[in-house]
């Protein structure tokens, strides 16, 4: 089974974030390849987890694609005790950087609606938009809701998962990925990104 090519209808958690100013010089990228990525990909319920770096500065400098085996895996993955401890250690090592933008305070629960390319790529283009995604975007996920970021020791919030209609700090209806640069997206964004670590 080609786990880097996602089935239509499959779920993915889309994560955007920043790290402290010291992180890259302190070895963040090798740590992603050697520690973070293998750890996440070994967690039951995770189909494909990859770390990507944005080429140009913006609201977020990094993103993760965390594709799950199925929709029923969400709660067991999100509250996995090993992941809880790992996230806490991540914050200790790398920090958040400046006070996070509202977009970064949450992760995003999405469903794959188009899958014409594998995520096993060294670089590509992230697209974000409203309404229907243009046809020149290879992989498209619709945003279903947002997830409160969770760390070890914190109680499970009652609103840990809310539908998009109730909370959508991402501000877009869909997330897209293309191997080649797509046309500009009206009232959206097209951003170049490179893969730091993948299975």
Could you read off the pLDDT of 165-188 as tens digits, one per residue?
Answer: 999 999 999 999 999 999 999 999
**Model pTM score:** 0.94
What does the alpha-carbon distance between residue 123 and residue 181 come to, in Å, rounded to a whole number? 10
- pLDDT-derived band of residue 1, with 50, 70 and 90 as boundaries? very low
Q: Tokens at residue 82, please?
A: 């090993």
Q: Which residues pair with 194 in a beta bridge?
A: 53, 123
**CA 128 to chain centroid:** 13
Question: Alpha carbon of 187 to those of 19, 28, 130, 171, 180: distances in Å?
Answer: 27, 33, 7, 11, 20
Residue closest to 37 by CA, chosen among 179, 195, 193, 147: 195
pLDDT at 11: 98
What does the alpha-carbon distance between residue 56 and residue 103 come to, in Å, rounded to a whole number? 17
């Amino acid at each position: 089974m080609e786990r880097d090519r996602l089935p239509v209808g499959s779920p993915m958690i889309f994560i955007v974030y920043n790290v402290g100013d010291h992180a890259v010089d302190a070895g963040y990228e090798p740590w992603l390849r050697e520690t973070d990525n293998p750890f996440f990909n070994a967690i039951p319920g995770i189909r494909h987890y990859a770390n990507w770096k944005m080429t140009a500065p913006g609201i977020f400098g990094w993103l993760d694609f965390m594709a799950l085996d199925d929709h029923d895996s969400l709660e067991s993955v999100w509250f996995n005790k090993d992941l809880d401890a790992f996230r806490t250690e991540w914050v200790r090592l790398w920090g958040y950087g400046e006070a996070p933008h509202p977009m970064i305070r949450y992760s995003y629960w999405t469903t794959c609606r188009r899958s014409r390319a594998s995520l096993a790529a060294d670089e590509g283009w992230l697209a974000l938009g409203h309404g229907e995604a243009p046809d020149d975007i290879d992989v498209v996920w619709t945003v279903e809701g947002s997830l409160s970021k969770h760390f070890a020791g914190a109680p499970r919030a009652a609103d840990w998962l809310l539908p998009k209609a109730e909370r959508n700090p991402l501000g877009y209806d869909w997330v897209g990925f293309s191997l080649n640069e797509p046309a500009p997206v009206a009232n959206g964004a097209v951003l170049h990104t490179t893969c730091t670590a993948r299975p």
